[in-house]
Amino acid sequence: MKGIVNLVGLLGVLALTVWSCGKTEAATAEIRIETALCEMCGKTIQTAAAEVAGVTEASVDLEKKIVLVKYDGSRTNLATIEDAVVMAGYMANDKPADSMAYAARPACCKVEQTEQEEQPEPEAIPE
């Protein structure tokens, strides 16, 4: 019983602490993730963004190739979240992916190189 009382007391203190220094600046941003290819890329980016202190929500839209982030502007900023995506091996807006992190990605998650190979073969020109 005493444990429960203590727990309630602790939660009360925590709530008060959060409330008293709870000056938050709710912010939302969309980060373009043009090099995201598959579901796994999406998960990686989502996790990387969500792990940034101050980020409250990160959701990836693979069709639009964006990650929507909600964060506390008093604790973090867009550049920091972009950097987290970059360090996960993906482009974030105009920032190129960290090359080491990119190299560590599975082959299926690297930007496809097939486009160059798909060029039509030049036809023989009749003389």
Spatial separation of the C-alpha atoms in residues 96 and 87, rounded to whole Å = 10
Spatial separation of the C-alpha atoms in residues 60 and 65, rounded to whole Å = 7
Is 109 a binding residue for Cu ion by CB under 5 A? The answer is yes
Closest CA to 55 of 32, 91, 31: 31
Please state the closest distance from residue 100 (CB atom) to Cu ion, in A.
Answer: 17
| Cβ–Cβ under 8 Å, residues 46 and 60 | yes
Please state the closest distance from residue 43 (CB atom) to Cu ion, in A.
Answer: 9
Instruction: Give the x/- contact pattern for Cu ion in 67-106, rule: CB under 5 A.
Output: ----------------------------------------
Question: By C-beta, is 112 or 123 nearer to Cu ion?
Answer: 112
Beta-carbon contacts of residue 58 (< 8 Å; ≥ 6 apart): 45, 46, 49, 50, 67, 68, 69, 70
Please state the closest distance from residue 58 (CB atom) to Cu ion, in A.
Answer: 17
Site for Cu ion in 32-51 (CB under 5 A): 37-38, 40-41
Which residues lie near Cu ion (CB under 5 A)?
37-38, 40-41, 109
